Structure 1
Amino acid sequence: MSTHTDRLHDRKFVRTFFTTPTAVEGEDDSAKMLRSAAQLRGMEAPDVWVPDNEDATAPSMRDEGIENIIDVISEHGADYPSEIHPRMVWHRDSPATRYQGFQHIMELADPENGAIEHIDGVVIPEVGDIDDWKKADEFITIVENEHGLEEGSLAMSVIVESGEAELALGDLREEMGKPANNLERLFLLVDGEVDYTKNMRAITPTGELPPWPELRHNTSRGASAAGLIAVDGPYDDIRDVEGYHERMTDNQAKGMLGIWSLTPGQVVEANKSPLPPKTGSWLLEANGREVELDEEDGQFVYEGDGIELDETGDDQYRLRIGSNERDLDGDELSEALLDLASYIPSLNDIVDSMEEFEAAKEAGKGAIAMERAATLVIDGVEVEISNDRMWDEATYQAAQTPINLFQDVYENRPDQHEDLEELYGEDIVERAIVVG
């Protein structure tokens, strides 16, 4: 039996989880939003498209929503560039809701309806403890047997929206793979912070959602331990692009590289966010805040007022950071600024470093030092900084995560090849897809 840290699905990474209402009231064509989403391509198309027959669709429209999913996916599913996982109705405390979800999955999976060949799985919301997850799995197993599908061929993703579901994350390694269930069909673990907040009876002074970093950490940890993929919940302020990026950056540091997207614009941002940048950049910490430096003619210029630098004599300088003032010589100044500086490597930087280490390994070396240097300019004063980073096998393996992500995107999203080549250049793309 394989360990549950092994990936059991074709996708190793999912950057974007995009939901679309399945039926809209008051429209001549209630499936108009589904039809529009089915046309998305390139960076506007998500890694996982979720026709949403739960929260995004009114209860009175959900039977029609299933008909719309079948209609649209049977027509457009063959050409859709990524995975399709409709979201069904389900609730840990409602047998009637679970039964309705079962009936809807049964209808979706009927080969005579023409949609199931293009559907990769289903998303189950509002799950409870691990026994509830097993109920959903058993229903899907029954559907597969009823329609002559291979057991386990339909993936199951769950939305973690309750304390019970969060605790169940710790049971997955023990439960998956038992002969009594098909939980190895699990694919995504998705956070649903809105309902989770309600379930936890949490209150904030402004009424805004708590950030729930613990939930996001636990979901990411549960996914890593069970060989699954973690996805963060929706970011409702769709105009706050900076906030969306901050949330994704925080998530990525937890190993959660995917996020829910509510609009094609958010899909574009989330598709690009975990990819390495096109160009490297230097950051400088000024009064507890990191500022990206502007590159001008190969030098990196600080334009803020949190750091001041004066040349006071031959190789003598006065450095002011907030209220702290220090007199330093040239070497001391370089060391002080190096402590404040950090570098964000580009895709080309990562590929260069990995290729250099691979060549060193071929030559019998277990570790090599790689230098990174830059000229910083503060208040017109130029300062050279440089450091050596030791690369060994562990460093090399860590660098593979962004490269593996890039390669997974390239393999599974041919509709994004042109976007990637336009962003990075054909040469670096060709090198990135073979390194490692």
Structure 2
Amino acid sequence: MTRPKRLRRCQLSVPASSEKLIASARNRAVDYVFLDLEDSVAPNAKEEARERVIKAVNEGGFRCGTIAARVNELSSQWALDDITRLVAECGATIDVIILPKVKDAEDIRFADRLITMLEAKHGIGKPIGLEVLIEEVEAMSNVDEIAASSPRLEALIFGMGDYAASQGIVTSGVGETDDYPGDLFHYHRNRVSVAARVAGIAAIDGPYADFNNAQKYREEARRAALLGFEGKWAIHPAQIELAEEIFSPDPAVVEKAMAISDAYEKARARGEGAIQFEGKMVDVASVRIFNDMIALAGMIAERDRQ
């Protein structure tokens, strides 16, 4: 199974209980939209919301690059029907299923096996990707094994709200870190980022609840980006542009990176191991830093052309 490379600068969360919000999300040219069956849906609305997700995915028309659904946690009464119905009825169209509140690698292996059987049963040729939320202390403890658990797994998402509750951390809201001297979640983000990088998958930062506070959202997104995260959730359309800004490379920086890479490749062809570029030494380690940035810029340019 080959993992597709997806843009995930912004993952827009859309409550599956709202026809209006689903219709609004359909018209947004965002990297990634996921229809949420978990936290944003009341228990007595789960069944109806699931039908709405299946209908919306099959109708299509989304301008996003990736369409996904977050199912209910595996220990819940809804999870089995969420997964089996989604794969059976819109498995050929949906790109990713997001698993919340996983605790260990066996959770992912179970979901992988289930989806594999369902894909075979229903003749679905394109594998459905998995993403998991690291939002329990058990998951953080097992994050390396989780990251390496399945070739179907595409990303780890740090869910700081539930994680704070799991560890007994008191915050003023989801993603709120104002009272801590520095970044309260620095260790956790770094831990998730390293595990994801080793496994060759993406690390995504979770939600920030105060969608009226653009400055703080930008700050939290930048903290994640500096640690190697590829994107962040948006719980409101006002956060989309902010996420895309932080997780998109500056065109001027990309242009310079490409010039440095080109100059280095020419020097290497001459048998030189290092060069000077605008008064600074450039070697293979310097060029390696630019590779992801250049590749991301190419993906963004390709999406903008579509």
* Common fold: TM-score over 0.5: yes
> Is residue 2:75 matched to residue 1:101?
no
Whole-angstrom distance in 2 between the partners of 1:230 and 1:396: 22
Aligned residues: 299
> Is residue 2:23 matched to residue 1:35?
yes
TM normalised by structure 2 equals: 0.89
Matches within 5 A, 1:210-221: 210=177, 211-221=184-194
Instruction: Write out per-residue CA displacement over residues 288-341 of structure 1, whole angstroms, 9 at most, x where no aligned residue.
Output: xxxxxxxxxxxxxxxxxxxxxxxxxxxxxxxxxxxxxxxxxxxxxxxxxxxxxx
In structure 1, the residue matched to 2:50 is: 66
In structure 1, the residue matched to 2:110 is: 135
In structure 2, the residue matched to 1:266 is: 239
> Is residue 2:65 matched to residue 1:82?
yes
Matches within 5 A, 1:389-428: 389-411=280-302, 413=303, 416-417=304-305
What's the secondary structure of 2:69's corresponding residue? coil
In structure 1, the residue matched to 2:180 is: none
Larger Rg: 1
Matches within 5 A, 1:294-333: none
Whole-angstrom distance in 2 between the partners of 1:141 and 1:8: 15
Q: Which of 2, 12, 26 is the matching residue for 1:18?
A: 12
Whole-angstrom distance in 2 between the partners of 1:348 and 1:38: 33
Whole-angstrom distance in 2 between the partners of 1:105 and 1:12: 22
> Is residue 2:141 matched to residue 1:167?
yes
* Residues 397 and 137 (structure 1), Cα distance of their counterparts in 2 relative to 1, 3 Å cut: same
8 Å CA contact retained: 2:2, 2:151: yes
What's the secondary structure of 2:23's corresponding residue? helix
Whole-angstrom distance in 1 between the partners of 2:287 and 2:169: 43
8 Å CA contact retained: 1:223, 1:229: yes
Which has more strand, going by share of residues? 1
In structure 2, the residue matched to 1:153 is: 127
Q: Offset of 1:119 from its aligned partner? A: 0.5
Whole-angstrom distance in 2 between the partners of 1:399 and 1:228: 18
In structure 2, the residue matched to 1:347 is: 254
Structure 2 unmatched runs, 5+: 178-183
Instruction: Write out per-residue CA displacement over residues 156-195 of structure 1, whole angstroms, 9 at most, x where no aligned residue.
Output: 111111011112212246x63xxxxxx2111111111111
Structure 1 unmatched runs, 5+: 1-6, 25-30, 177-182, 280-345, 372-387, 419-436
In structure 1, the residue matched to 2:98 is: 123
What's the secondary structure of 1:275's corresponding residue? coil
In structure 1, the residue matched to 2:275 is: 368
TM normalised by structure 1 equals: 0.64
8 Å CA contact retained: 2:6, 2:66: no
Percent identity of equivalent pairs: 27
8 Å CA contact retained: 1:105, 1:143: no
